[in-house]
Structure 1
Amino acid sequence: MSGRLRLYKEKLEGYNRFHSIVKTIKMVTMAKFRQAQVRIKTRDYTLRYTEKAFSKPGQLVGDSLQAKTVYIPVMTNRGSCGALNSNVVKMIDSVASSRAYLMPLGKRGIESLSKLYPSSFRMGIINDMHEPMHFAYATYIWENAQQLCPEADRIHVIFHRCVSAASQKQCYYNIPAYDKWKEDLVDASSTENQKSRYLFANTLLNEDEQMIRDFYDFHATLAILNAVCENELSEQAARLVAVEGQLSNISALQQKTSSLYNKTRQSSITSSLIEIISAMTSLEGNAAKGVQRTNFWEGARMR
């Protein structure tokens, strides 16, 4: 076997192994994507009351440049998920200041944001992703965010919502501090500034203080739970697209190398056949002229 033929054969074997590995990764990612897709189907039913609790007509994204804000960027533990993490970093870069407190979720978020914004970075949380996102995990995030800066004016959760397998949209939840939220609730119950929340605000304010606080914490935790679930689904969707691209690339390389290997092998076989036929033709020609050779090592003698 020639050196070039051996090279193509080794490359083709390597591409075949890599193709099988990437195909397995794609199947695993597809299964995780389907599971996350089923879990997120309840988001519209759970968030309708959360939206009623925290939405305020005419509210701006950035309440004040002087406001203390805790940012919770939801990021990933691994790469190969498109531009999810880089988009979050761009968002943080536009709002980073001395009054911003960062508490990223995910290994990639902690590694990148702690180096890019050391003055704003406070702590991070890593989930091993071995279990589905659950309410206890969201509660842990919410409690740590409140303890990180008790005097914060709001908590800003940045995540990606999965629109489709090929499209993920960056979104946010803006959760005001409890005191500011309650002031807004009193305003909604006593004036006509927020007619859509008038009955809701009056009903809630008739309850005791502990009940109001529990309602606030519960729906804030629900918002965080929805954010991490949406980001998990977006991560799997983006990784599915990335793996599909890798599979297409390796298939193209595999096909090209296979074609080169077959052509080189065919050329080698053709050359060998030509040599054999030439040798046979030469022997037949010598036999016709009367050359005899009883043994190969003996000299030829004429008849």
Structure 2
Amino acid sequence: MASLKELKGRINSVKSTQKITKAKQMVAAAKLRKAQAAAEAARPYAQRLAAVMASLASRVTVSESSPRLLAGTGKDQTHLLVVANSDKGLAGAFNSNIVRAALVKARALEAEGKTVRFYLVGRKGRAVIRRAYPQAIEHMFDTTDVREPGFTEAQRVAEELTDLYMAGKFDVAHLFYSKFRSALVQTPTEQQIIPVPAPKLDAAAPATIGGAVVEYEPDEETILAELLPRYLRVQLFGALLENMASEQGASMTAMDNATRNAGDLINKLTIQYNRSRQAAITTELIEIIAGAEAL
């Protein structure tokens, strides 16, 4: 049985841990508001750009002369899985859920006889993928020196992916990130980013955007070739913003659970301490009474 001194030390230790988790929860809550606002503000821009892309793609016949980011390589053998993680832990299952979704996709592709490669963004999750696919890591994009990955990092990732694609390193690229729903819900999401899938256009208005008739100058193919790299950057930027919001939501929830668990443990240890202390007092009283009676 633990001594009173040991129990007192454990209670103080858990209280110190509780203060840390409570502080981390408050920091995550403050960061969540900013990250959530940024993610939600980026969504309308991405949706509008997708509408423009859909209008253009509906007017262009995809052929060998089309931009390669849209037409593809003509093959479907080598798949690159772009896994976007964070650099920090203490966020519950945020990172592991993204990695798990990527590994499930990798195994499914291998079952179809495809070749799988990985492009890793962020430090977390690397160890798991390295153990599962030690020879399949194509590139690791380091974000440890970046406080909050943003458009600059999305642009660099887009350029590196485009260079790898043009060099024939892969045929199809899939992006894995966490879609922010709420502080309690973050959904691991898979999205094909290369070749860029033509966004769907409302069949009722194939030549309009938002109900307005649009004429393009210069021609649609020229504009589409210019917009495809921008569209790729926007998709990656949106994924990074969604990841940041999801990470802070998961971190806030995890730290809240840790704070509650620490409180429960403190209560249990306090009860155990009081019982042990009362038992020690009772034992001393019995010894005193027994000694007095012996005299």
* TM value normalised by structure 1: 0.73
Matched position secondary structure for 2:11? helix
- Give a deviation string over 1:245-292, Cα, whole Å, max 9, x none: 22122111111111121222233344445666787x77xxx9xxxxxx
**Aligned pair in 2 of structure 1 residues 94, 5: CA closer, same or farther (>3 Å)?**
closer
Task: Find the counterpart in structure 2 of residue 142 from structure 1.
Answer: 158
Task: Find the counterpart in structure 1 of residue 232 from structure 2.
Answer: 220
Name the aligned partner's letter for residue 178 of structure 2: H
Please state if 1:170 is matched with 2:193: no
**Aligned pair in 2 of structure 1 residues 71, 54: CA closer, same or farther (>3 Å)?**
farther
- Give a deviation string over 1:50-99, Cα, whole Å, max 9, x none: 32255689xxxxx9993543321112223332333333333323333443
Alpha-carbon deviation of 1:39? 1.7
Within 2, Cα distance between the matches of 1:206 and 1:172? 34
Task: Find the counterpart in structure 2 of residue 294 from structure 1.
Answer: none
List alignment gaps of at least 5 residues for structure 2: 59-71
Task: Find the counterpart in structure 2 of residue 198 from structure 1.
Answer: 207
Aligned partner (choices 254, 259, 268) of residue 242 of structure 1: 254
Name the aligned partner's letter for residue 93 of structure 2: A
Within 1, Cα distance between the matches of 2:134 and 2:216? 41
- Give a deviation string over 1:222-264, Cα, whole Å, max 9, x none: 1110101101111111122222222122111111111121222
**Aligned pair in 2 of structure 1 residues 227, 204: CA closer, same or farther (>3 Å)?**
farther
Task: Find the counterpart in structure 1 of residue 61 from structure 2.
Answer: none
Task: Find the counterpart in structure 2 of residue 86 from structure 1.
Answer: 96
The structure with the largest alpha-carbon Rg is 1
List alignment gaps of at least 5 residues for structure 1: 58-62, 287-303
Within 1, Cα distance between the matches of 2:191 and 2:206? 19
Within 2, Cα distance between the matches of 1:113 and 1:205? 46
Task: Find the counterpart in structure 1 of residue 242 from structure 2.
Answer: 230
**Aligned pair in 2 of structure 1 residues 105, 256: CA closer, same or farther (>3 Å)?**
same
- More displaced, 156-165 or 136-145? 156-165
What aligned pairs does 1:17-166 form with structure 2 within 5 A after superposition?
17-53=16-52, 66-96=76-106, 97=110, 98-128=114-144, 130-150=146-166, 151=168, 152-166=170-184
Contact kept in structure 2, 1:9 and 1:261, CA below 8 Å: yes
- Give a deviation string over 1:149-205, Cα, whole Å, max 9, x none: 224544322111111111111223323437x86xx99xx9xxxx9564434697457
**Aligned pair in 2 of structure 1 residues 109, 270: CA closer, same or farther (>3 Å)?**
closer
Within 2, Cα distance between the matches of 1:218 and 1:100? 26
Contact kept in structure 1, 2:86 and 2:95, CA below 8 Å: yes
How many residue pairs get matched?
A: 268
Matched position secondary structure for 2:138? coil
Alpha-carbon deviation of 1:22? 1.7
Percent of aligned positions that are identical = 21
Within 1, Cα distance between the matches of 2:232 and 2:254? 33
